[in-house]
């Protein structure tokens, strides 16, 4: 009598050879687990990007995620040989620091680099626009160069 309802060992009532409700719940649980693992993997990948040896000193984890992401994107493109001017980067001529370049990242952040002839671009600092302005006006640029 396949159609008859019965009580499964789990306590649920239903038809068939096994409890479909428990199977569904198990599947849901597994999907949830998978989603969590995926999240954890994405998080650890993101952490790896933030703490990669070439950018670790920039302490990008102190910036909002979106700003950090943009910084990493720009850094990646600069490393691939794209010119800083493509990102509206400017030399600090007024500060007589022609080898220092300030690149706006969104509206609120700046990426500071140093460019020297025959050398790869050096990433010096990632900071808020506010901190950047303060640093400029206090003439505290020396420490970076």
Residues that bind Zn ion (CB under 5 A): 10, 12, 19, 21-22
Q: Which is nearer to Zn ion, 21 or 114 (CB)?
A: 21
Please identify, using beta-carbon distances, which residue of 12 and 82 lies nearer to Zn ion.
12
Q: Please answer whether residues 6 and 14 qualify as being in contact, where contact means their C-beta atoms are separated by less than 8 angstroms.
A: yes
Least distance to Zn ion, CB of residue 31, Å: 18
Which residue, 24 or 51, has its beta carbon nearer to Zn ion?
A: 24
The minimum distance between CB 19 and Zn ion, in angstroms, equals: 3
Pick 16 or 76: Cβ nearer Zn ion: 16
Beta carbon of residue 25, minimum distance to Zn ion (angstroms, whole number): 7
Q: CB within 8 A of 108, min separation 6: which ones?
A: 67, 128, 129, 130
Question: b or e along 19-31 (b: 16 or more beta carbons within 10 Å of the residue's beta carbon)?
Answer: beeeeeeeeeeee
Long-range contacts at 111-117 (CB < 8 A, ≥ 24 apart)? 111/71, 111/74, 111/75, 112/144, 113/78, 113/84, 113/89, 114/144, 114/145, 115/84, 115/91
Smallest distance, Å, CB 1 to Zn ion?
20
């Amino acid at each position: 009598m396949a159609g008859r309802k019965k009580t499964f060992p789990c306590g649920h009532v239903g038809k068939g050879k096994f409890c479909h409700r428990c199977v569904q719940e198990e599947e849901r649980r597994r999907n949830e687990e998978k989603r969590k693992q995926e999240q954890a993997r994405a998080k650890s990948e993101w952490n790896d990007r933030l703490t990669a040896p070439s950018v670790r000193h920039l302490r990008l984890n102190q910036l909002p995620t979106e700003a950090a992401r943009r910084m990493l994107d720009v850094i990646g493109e600069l490393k691939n040989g794209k010119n800083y001017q493509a990102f509206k980067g400017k030399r600090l001529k007024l500060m007589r620091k022609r080898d220092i370049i300030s690149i706006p990242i969104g509206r609120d952040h700046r990426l500071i680099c140093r460019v020297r002839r025959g050398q790869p671009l050096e990433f010096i600092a990632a900071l808020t626009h506010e901190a950047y302005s303060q640093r400029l006006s206090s003439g505290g640029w020396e420490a970076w160069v």
